A and B are shown apart, each in its own frame.
Chain A
Amino acid sequence: MLYDEFRAMNSNIVLAASGGDLAVINSGFSSARNFINQSEERFTRFSEESELARLNRSAGDWFQASAEMFEVLQEAQRLAIETDGLFNPAILPELKQAGYDRSLDEIKNSKPRIKPPMVIKKQDFRQIKLDKATNSVLFPKGMQVDLGGIAKGWIAEQAAQQLAKVSCACAVNAGGDMYLVNLPEGETSWEVGLENPLDPEHDLAILHVLPGAVATSSITKREWKHNGKLQHHLIDPRSGKPAETEWLSVTVWAKTAAEAEVYAKAFLIAGPRVADRLYIKDTTKAYLAVDRHGWVRGSENYHEVFHV
């Protein structure tokens, strides 16, 4: 197995591939790396020049989107509807209000800011309009969107599909959002370490995972202090505040990386009861959730894709 590791999208990126010509795989790594860097420039909310920043500024008017942006928005709207609004990328103002107004590295390296709370009008991402014929998008006036997680998952999957053209089996891991294509020769699964949310340096378990997408959402990974309170990046669209949840992390296996990422987030925000209700609607996904005491809760079918 060949590996390439680098940093992008504020995350550690791991590319893995096997079963192919060494030089060709290395050139595949290089292409995948370029794709990831270009996609980051497109989807980041931390650059005023990114396509996402321009799209946010255009709220209230139709915006001509790139094919990549349109595809992610389309998928995001579908999943927002499917999760009854538990996934809502239109929470950027709430995220900024909670103090996540710069990259996490910048927040951690600067002094805490104190900002007075502002009244924020709730926006529902399900209400965006998409015109497939022209790749045009209309955000309702005032809507501000953060595509962080879903875009990262989508990018990982696209990069993996590119890498699959030059290898027999490959994986792309973007900070825990990963897409696995085929199985390495002689193997019956991919080995994936499930980080302990209470001690991220160590794994809670080694998961043996089937090809597909795996994503974990956690409230312990991206946290900071704002106005004297500990905050995390997972906004509950119902309250507009960082989610108060029974679980610390949820790991989801799904067919697409966007689905895995979105459902991990929705399950974590919703907690056990709603998670089971959402899960029953579509049992092609499987999840493992870790609570504050280290107990793990698995969907009925978790053992079909996660061999622990």
Chain B
Amino acid sequence: MKIIKKGMRVWITAASMFSFLVGWVFFAHANKPAPLQVSQPTVSAPVRNQSVRTFNSNSGSGSFPFSFQNQAQSFSPRLRTGGS
């Protein structure tokens, strides 16, 4: 009986350690969360507008956020800037 008890303890300890290590290895090699796919937005931005709507004019820091109003342009100029 004593031998069985001892054997059970050893077995449970070994099984726990083994499971823990397997879990560790599994999570360490799992795929990391995918980075934000900025080219496939989940938020649609206001497109092609003319005038400006002030969002919050806390200009103490030297700049302030705003959004372009939703007034679509029917043309696009030949000169465009968007990053190189």
Residues 198-250 (chain A) with a chain B CB within 8 angstroms: 198-200, 202-207, 214-223, 229-230, 248-249
**CA A231 – CA B79 in complex, angstroms?**
27
Chain B residue contacts of A276, Cβ below 8 A: 61-63
Interface residue total, chain A, C-beta cutoff 8 A = 68
Interface string of B50-72 (1 = CB under 8 A from A): 11100100010111111110000
Residues of A within 8 A of B39 (CB): 198, 220, 223
Asked if A300 meets B63 with Cβ closer than 8 Å, knowing A195-B82, A218-B83, the reply is yes
Count: A-B pairs, CB below 8 Å: 167
B66 and A206 form a contact (CB under 8 A): no
In the assembled complex, A183 has its CB within 8 A of some CB on chain B: no
Residue from B35, B46, B77 within 8 A of A204 (CB atoms): B46
A interface secondary structure, majority: strand
Pick 13 A–B contacts, CB within 8 A, sort by A.
Answer: A16-B79, A152-B84, A177-B84, A190-B79, A198-B44, A203-B73, A216-B82, A218-B83, A275-B63, A294-B44, A296-B68, A297-B65, A298-B66
- Beyond the given pairs A272-B61, A293-B45, 18 more chain A to chain B contacts, judged by CB atoms under 8 angstroms and listed by A's residue number, are A14-B78, A173-B80, A177-B84, A193-B80, A196-B48, A197-B83, A198-B38, A204-B46, A205-B48, A206-B77, A218-B83, A220-B83, A292-B41, A294-B45, A294-B46, A294-B67, A298-B63, A300-B62
Residue numbers of A with Cβ under 8 A of B are 3, 11, 14, 16, 148-149, 152, 171, 173-178, 190-200, 202-207, 214-223, 229-230, 248-249, 251, 272-273, 275-277, 279-280, 287, 289-300, 302, 308
Question: Which 8 residue pairs across A and B have the least CB separation, nearest first?
Answer: A294-B45, A195-B82, A218-B83, A276-B62, A175-B84, A193-B80, A221-B83, A176-B81
